[in-house]
Structures are given as structure tokens and as C-alpha cells.
Structure 1
Amino acid sequence: MEQKLFEDQHLTPNEKTIADFIAKMGMTVLTYTEDEIAKSLQISNATVSRFWRKIGFKNFKDYKNNYKETMDISPANKLGNIMEQVSSTTIHAQMMTMSVKHLELTLAQYNAEDFQKAVQSIVKAKTIYIYSPGPSEGLGNLLNYRLSRFGFNIQVLPKSGHEIYESMLHFGYGDVLFMFGFVKLHPESRVLLEHAKKLNMKSIVITDSIVSDFNMLADLLLFASRGELWEFHSMMAPTFLIENIIIAVGKETAEQSMMKLEMLDSIRKEYKDLLPR
């Protein structure tokens, strides 16, 4: 795409400056606004706005959408992008700023009613089936570990393949499907959600997409920001959301949860000489 910008021989000096800036910035330019580009180059906003039409796009948004469709979004490119943005001497401060941004975006989309419905669904569930594919596996393990301690019956679903069918065999009314649906709706996710809906099972999806195919299939969607499609995906906000769910469920089932934790403590003390921590 960048080469196309330089092939236009009718660009003014200022437009060539913009084209050069975009070519050098690569994917990072997608994080900019027109105003930021204008200020960075000390060029008027009007010149920047006209530039997109000059190179064949309706506006900056149209350029961004086209870029996203044609870009190579590989793990290597996403890691390379974050490495270009942070400095080794200030990495902690920069990553903290990014984490705060993700938490703020997550809270901006927070729906207290949906969150409480998700908590109540978990509290009332006969069995909670957790589907946490790919990078969300750690989140699923955290949820499983904490809720199991409270005495809930948890089943972690296989990631893919025909083994999923074996687990679906045990789905039933009163159960809950808890799923992590990042980026897009995969075939396994669709199968699980559609089958849960047929059985009138509640389904809860934590997603990083405000508008996606999950909206049509899941009963409850909880948003957690992880960054744009081309960015290094942070798990800070999803972890924050999971910990909030765990604490809320613990409060709703305080008597049962405390009893189970006290039993755990008693068992540890009884066998501490044989299995020291």
C-alpha cells in the first residue's frame, strides 16, 4: 500500500511529506488521528483530510479499514509492533499506561445488569462448562481453580476436534457455558453456542469485540479490551474481569464458599507432614 503513495506524481510537497510519514510509521499510523498527524508534521488538518481522497480513499477511516483488510496480522508482526512502541528504559511505565487504557475502555463498556446476570447464572448452575481456547487458556484455568474451591462443578472443554462432541453429550438444562471469544467466532465456538441454545443453557462470553457474531448466539456478553486487531493483545482487562466475577460469585455464595475454604484449610493441616506446601 505504501508504494502506491509514492507512485502518484501529482502529490504536492506537503502530501509527499504525509505519504513518507505513513510509509515510515507502518501499522502504528492506525493508532493516530488526523489531528495528531497534522500536528506531528506541522501541516494543516485540511491538507491531511484532502490527502486520503488524493490517494484513492474516501477519508482516513476508509484508509484504515483498507489497511486492516490487507495487512499481515501475524504473531510476529504484533510482537514487532509493540516492541517498536516501547523503550527498554521506560517499558514498565509505557506498559502500565497501556494497561490502564485497556481497563478504562473495559469499564466504559461495563454493564452492571449483564454482569449481575452472569454472576447469578454461575451461582445457579448445575455444571459450568468452560471453553478457553488459545491465549485464553490461562484465564479459563484461573476461573476453574477459584470456582472449584467454592464447591462448583466445573468442566473444562477440549480446545478443538471431535473431543468437543464427547463433552457436549453431557450438556443439559441448568448448566452454563462460559466462553472466551476473542477476535472472531471460531467453528468450535459456534457449535458450542448453538448446541447450548438448543438446550436452553445459559451462555456467557467474554469478548474483545463490541459488535461480533457472538451477539447473535450468546445470552450474555461481557467486554474486555485487549487492543486493536494488529496490536499485541494484553490480558490485563480480561483478568480483571475474571477476578471481579470470582469475587462477586464468592460473595453471593459466602456461606458455601467459606465452608469449602475452611475444609481445604483443615485438610492441609491434617496432611501437612505428608504433603508439605
Structure 2
Amino acid sequence: MTALDKIASLQSQFSPNGQKIAIFVLAQPELVVSLSSQELATAANVSQSSIVKFTQRVGFKGFPAFKMAISEELARHNTIGGNVLNQLPTQPETNNTLASSLSKMAQQKANAIIDTTKAIDVDLLEKIASRLKSATRIQLIGLGSNALVAHDFNDKLLSLGLPVIHSADPSLQSTIAHTLTEQDVLFILSNNSEHQTLQLASHAAKLHGATIVVITTPDDLPLTSLADLTLLMHCEPSLHRIVNQPFTLHLAAQQTLTDILCLAIQE
């Protein structure tokens, strides 16, 4: 049962304040994932403590975990249209039409988002968000295909008022990392490309005591061994090969993790 389904099924059992929250969440779930707990409390005309009690009542540790679940559900719905997800084939078909390939790609992207979100340790997520909020500087690196998500993440961090440094020039990364201090964070987006620039920057940052945060795949041992905090993408390859599929899945999983981090930072 999804989070929204559970809220709907329990709606009559909630307290008066809980029913107010339930009505608001069910009516505007897209808005809820962009609000802080205090903002939701104001919008629903309840206290902030009522929001906390409500999220715990529906089975979540706190408001960030609740928003992650709603965000995951919306992402799955928006990707391929709600319940159609479970009807899509995952095995190769004899008649490999364009429509079939598109359906499979949508299935695989949704799976990458869902599997990545389910694997998140909320305590770790909150720790990373706290570290980013307290950092004097945040050096953000994303090379190759990772640069697309890095650019988007950079803009979002800046909009949140965080001191992020982002350059698409690989030759500058190690130089910048050598200027970091114990008050700073090196944040790397990777997909196990084993890019030498990432390792050089990581070694430089570690030498100067900066905190290293990495988003990558579980098998990216060179980076995860250097990282202080790691968020993992889970993008299992399918038996049905689609052109640029690994790039597409990593992009979807990375975007999910960076968006969820931005939600946690706003708490």
C-alpha cells in the first residue's frame, strides 16, 4: 500500500487535526513535497507537532521520510502513469517495437528511482543535509554524464543559499580541492567511471580535512573507500538492452537523490 493509499484508508480514524492534514495531503501531494513541516502546518491550519504525529501515525519516522515516500510515489506515477507500472513487461519481446522499448525504459527508470529511494538511510540523509548546511564551502564535482545532474544540483543549492563552488572544467577540480579546509565539503556525483580527476580531488580534500560526500554506485570502491558519507544509486541492468540505458538510469537515480537532499536541507 502506498503512502497516499494508506492516508486515504485511515482518514476516518484520524483526529480532527489529522483529518485536516490528510485532506490537504491527498488534495495537493505535489505541493506537500516542496513544503517544510512548519509550512505544511500553516497551510493545513494545525500545529507543527500535529504534522509530526500525523507522519508517525501513517508509519514514518518523521516528516523527511514521509516526504520521500510521497515524492517516490509521485515520481513513479509521473514516469509512466500510476498503476501501469506493474503491468509493463521487463523481458525481451519478439516484436520489439519503439513503443515496447519506451515502456521498458520507463519501467527501468521507475525501478531505479524506487530502488534507490527505498535504500536510503534517513539518518544518513539528515547527517549529510546538516553537514552541507554548516559548510563554509561546498565543492561540487560531476563530470561527463554526471555534469547534467551536477549543474541542476548546483542551481538548487545556490537557491537555498548554500556556498557551492561548481566548475565544469576537470583541470580545476584538484586545484580547488587543495584549498578546502575542515569546514568545507567536497561533494562528488559519480557512476563508477573511475575518473582520475575524482580520485585526485578526493585525496586532496582528505589531506586538508574536508568532509567528502559521494553519490555513486555500490561497486565504486575507489570513491566509496575515500568518502566520509555515501549515498548509493541502485540501477540494475535489464536483460533488454536499450541504447544509453546506463546513462538514463544513473541520471534518474542521481536526480532523485539530489532532489531528496534538497528537501532534507530545507527541514
Give the aligned partner of residue 174 of structure 1.
183
- Which has the larger Rg? 1
Query: 5 Å matches for 1:111-260?
Result: 111-161=121-171, 163-210=172-219, 212-228=221-237, 232-233=245-246, 234=249, 235-251=251-267
- 1: CA distance, partners of 2:96 / 2:137: 43
Gaps of 5+ in 1: 1-81, 252-277
Q: Is the 8 A contact 1:110 1:222 kept in 2?
A: yes
Counterpart secondary structure, 1:200:
coil
Residue 210 and residue 113 in structure 1: after superposition, are their counterparts in 2 closer, same or farther (change >3 A)?
farther
- 2: CA distance, partners of 1:215 / 1:208: 9
Give the aligned partner of residue 33 of structure 1.
none
- 1: CA distance, partners of 2:173 / 2:154: 18
Counterpart secondary structure, 1:203:
strand
Deviations 1:217-243 (A, max 9, x none): 000110113444987212111111111
- 2: CA distance, partners of 1:168 / 1:215: 17
Counterpart secondary structure, 1:126:
coil
- Identity over the aligned pairs, expressed in percent? 16
Deviations 1:93-119 (A, max 9, x none): 322211122123213432222212111
Deviation for aligned residue 1:143:
1.0
Deviation for aligned residue 1:211:
5.5
Q: Is the 8 A contact 1:173 1:200 kept in 2?
A: yes
Q: Is the 8 A contact 2:177 2:202 kept in 1?
A: no
- 2: CA distance, partners of 1:112 / 1:239: 17
Q: Is the 8 A contact 1:102 1:227 kept in 2?
A: yes
Q: Is the 8 A contact 2:177 2:201 kept in 1?
A: yes
TM-score (norm 1): 0.55
Task: Say yes or no: does 1:88 pair with 2:98.
Answer: yes
Letter in 1 for 2:254: P
Counterpart secondary structure, 1:214:
helix
Q: Is the 8 A contact 2:203 2:226 kept in 1?
A: yes
Pairwise CA RMSD of aligned residues? 2.5
> After TM superposition, which residue ranges in structure 1, 4 or more long, deviate above 3 angstroms?
226-231
Deviations 1:4-36 (A, max 9, x none): xxxxxxxxxxxxxxxxxxxxxxxxxxxxxxxxx
TM-score (norm 2): 0.57
Give the aligned partner of residue 110 of structure 2.
100
